Amino acid sequence: MADFQFIVSRFITDKDFLHALPYGEGHINDTYSVCLQDDEGVITRIILQRINHYVFKDPVGLMNNIVGVTTFLKEKIAAEGGDPERETLTVIPTTTGEYFYKDGEGNYWRVYKFIENALTYQSCRNAEDFYNCGISFGKFQQMLSDYDTTKLVETIPDFHNTVKRFEALKQAINEDKAGRAGLVQEEIRFALEREKDAGALVELLESGKMPYRVTHNDTKLNNILIDKKTGKGICVIDLDTVMPGAACYDFGDSIRFGASTAAEDETDLSKVSMSLELFEVFAKGYLSVAREFLTPVEFESLAIGAKIMTFECGIRFLTDYLNGDVYFKIHREHHNLDRCRTQFKLVQDMEQKMGLMQEIVKKYR
């Protein structure tokens, strides 16, 4: 068990430590809500996190990303008359001025100010939630649209390099480490027939036809703090995967997750489709802000980005299944195969609806 009192004292010395409790539902970092008390008896909270340096192998670069982006956002928010302490994360440095503390066991710790009177939802309760989700991530990209992406490191290298993801799938098929390739010939065929799709977004970025943007890369509703009074998104959180990428990465992954009519691991594929209604709801919210900065090529990439992000996720699940379930946590036999099948069903549905999806984007352009 970590000595929370000692760790917190590396960051804050003018308040007394009361207690630390596990906080949130994240699966990668260890997160704690810490209560502190000052000399006048006033109690405040902070967020203490242990960065998972097995997943994020460059914690120093990761923290430089976060500090750079949040500092930039604070300036933008203040200039627009907003509240910089509430509308983006605030990193609390150590007493020696660093943005993390490395303990004797090699663990990396960081501290954020706690944003009070806010909450997160694990899933959309209604269409309005998804609309507000679109606005929040659109505004996040808009405020960072002139940020110098060359200042960012890739915290997970090639995270959305779909070409390399596809090469990993072909390697997994050839090696067949778990002896499962014979069971998934239909899924393998489905993927191989779409190999050309894997390079579409990568080629646009690498050729310079589409600009690199600051992308969040985990654009789920639960990464937005919601104001308890207004019900509106106020702050995008979980910035560990902030990296250079395509705007449609974030748009597409939101659609993949939020516009699906079924759970990510649904076994009854008849329940799985992409809701055009939810696609339009998100697009309307996102483009109400993002249309200010998107280039024509970026507009054209949004609908296809939804398909490619979904396809990429599917081939990752299939790759892990073929390799013996070594990356994604599973909770039942063939769990990764079930996940793969839902993603491929979504891809198939998106292909049939692509024209309608593109028309919706044009509607709010």
pLDDT in tens, 266-318: 999 999 999 999 999 999 999 999 999 999 999 999 999 999 999 999 999 99
CATH number of 127-363, picked from 1.10.3720.10, 3.20.20.70, 3.90.1200.10, 3.30.1280.10: 3.90.1200.10
Domain ranges of the chain: 4-116, 127-363
Mean pLDDT, rounded, for 316-330: 94
pLDDT in tens, 128-146: 889 999 999 999 999 999 9
Q: What is the pLDDT of residue 25?
A: 78
Distances (CA, A) of 109 to 33, 51, 119, 134, 309: 13, 6, 23, 31, 31
pLDDT in tens, 17-39: 999 999 987 778 999 999 999 99
Helix/strand/coil percentages in the chain, nearest 5:
50, 15, 35
**Quick one: which of 155, 112, 136, 119 has its CA closest to 24?**
119
Please say if the pLDDT value at position 210 is more than 80: yes
Residue 140's Cβ-count burial label (10 Å; 0-12, 13-18, 19+) is buried
pLDDT in tens, 84-141: 999 999 999 999 999 999 999 999 999 999 999 998 887 778 888 899 999 999 999 9
Per-residue tokens: 276: 């055009």
3-class SS of residue 163: helix
| Domain covering 4-116 assigned CATH 3.30.200 in the classification | yes
β-strands 233-236, 224-227: how paired?
A: antiparallel
Q: Which residue has the tokens 């090696």?
A: 175
Q: How confident is the model at residue 240 (pLDDT cuts 50, 70, 90)?
A: very high
pLDDT in tens, 141-173: 999 999 999 999 999 999 999 999 999 999 999
